[in-house]
Amino acid sequence: MQLSDSQIKNLIKNYDIGNFISFKKTEKGVVNHNLVITTTKGKFILRCAHKDRKINELLFEHEFLRQLKSHNFPYKIPYPHTANNRKSIVKFKGRYFWLYDFIEGSTLLLNKEKIKQVARMMATMHRIVPDIKIKPKKKRPNPSQIGWLIKSLKKSKIQAIKKRNKDEKDIFYIKNSDRIISILKSLKFSGYSSLPRMPIHSDINYENILFRKGKLVGIIDFDNWQIDTRINDITAFIAYECRNLNRKNGLDLSLLKAFFNEYRKYNKISRKEIRFIPVIAASLYSDAFWWCYHILETDPYRKYSIKSLRKAFKAANIFYENREEIEELLLRLV
């Protein structure tokens, strides 16, 4: 959403943050639109939610952030400011806006030392979140609830087949979507529903983690938070940040060991939870396969490419085909 200087000035008048000085668009952010606002009272992020996000989703996200802060989570988070209307959200031109303090820090590719810091942060968060009580009106499907994904894969394949002018991504998707469907139908999640549920971030990756002078200082982008198991949170991180798709099992063992050794210093993790990591990873990458194609079709300005689609397909296959070996490997770590 494009905003003029005068519109931005009018928006920030809804908050007691001093007099406007300047603004600039952030480098990151492909779903939401973020502006760095500088005023006489400091720097802030003005966030424009994606057009598909509902008000209740934002309100529950803000409640999660408030409760994290009230439980003394020791890292910086995008804690929402209260506007003059005594609410955290302002509606303008049919879109929802909210504001939080700018967090000084940078996103960095993760090495072993930074992986350890992330593990410490996640373990700390996972100690806090069981005490946070939120009941969102809209529930997101967890990795074991694959019916919607299979339906979406089939629908997208039919649409791709009907296209008159098929490109590389269409041909690849048509050829391989049935394989992803067969993987999803074969995944076993027996016992997953008995694991404790809690609010989780569910999208912890290097793009949402901020470092300053080598130290992890904050975590952002809680858009995808949901009520689910912490092992889903953990799997999403290691599947993307501890992966090496050139290895047979798809994992960088050095990074994986660094993560688990550090996490277990601050929080216990059970063998029952560990057993679900390979199947959750296969489910997540199957979802990513569909999502990449969907975005390539509907939003060409996003950062996805045919390479992303191919990588998701490869990863889903690797984690599925080597799930027993991966499970044994992970169990040896705990």
**Secondary-structure class of domain 5-101 per CATH:** alpha beta
Q: Which residues contact 149 (CB under 8 A, 6 or more apart)?
A: 141, 184, 286, 287, 290
Residue pLDDT, tens place only, 30-77: 455 889 999 999 999 999 998 888 899 999 999 999 999 999 999 999
Q: Is the pLDDT of residue 29 over 50?
A: no
Residue pLDDT, tens place only, 136-168: 877 788 899 999 999 999 999 999 999 999 999
pLDDT more than 90, % of the chain: 84
Q: What's the mean pLDDT in 177-205?
A: 96
**Could you check whether 5-101 and 112-333 share the same CATH topology?**
no
pLDDT tier, 28 (very low <50, low <70, confident <90, very high otherwise) = low
Q: Is the pLDDT of residue 326 over 80?
A: yes
How does DSSP assign 128-164, residue by residue?
HGGG-----SSPPPPTT--HHHHHHHHHHHHHHHH-S
CA proximity to 220, closest of 238, 244, 204, 199: 204
Q: Where are the alpha helices (DSSP H) in the chain?
A: 5-12, 55-70, 112-128, 147-162, 168-186, 230-241, 253-266, 271-274, 277-298, 306-321, 323-333
Per-residue model confidence (pLDDT) at position 139? 78
Residue pLDDT, tens place only, 118-139: 999 999 999 999 999 988 877 7
**Residue ranges per domain, the chain?**
5-101, 112-333
pLDDT tier, 299 (very low <50, low <70, confident <90, very high otherwise) = confident
Q: What is the CATH number of domain 112-333?
A: 3.90.1200.10
Tell me the pLDDT of the chain averaged across its residues. 93
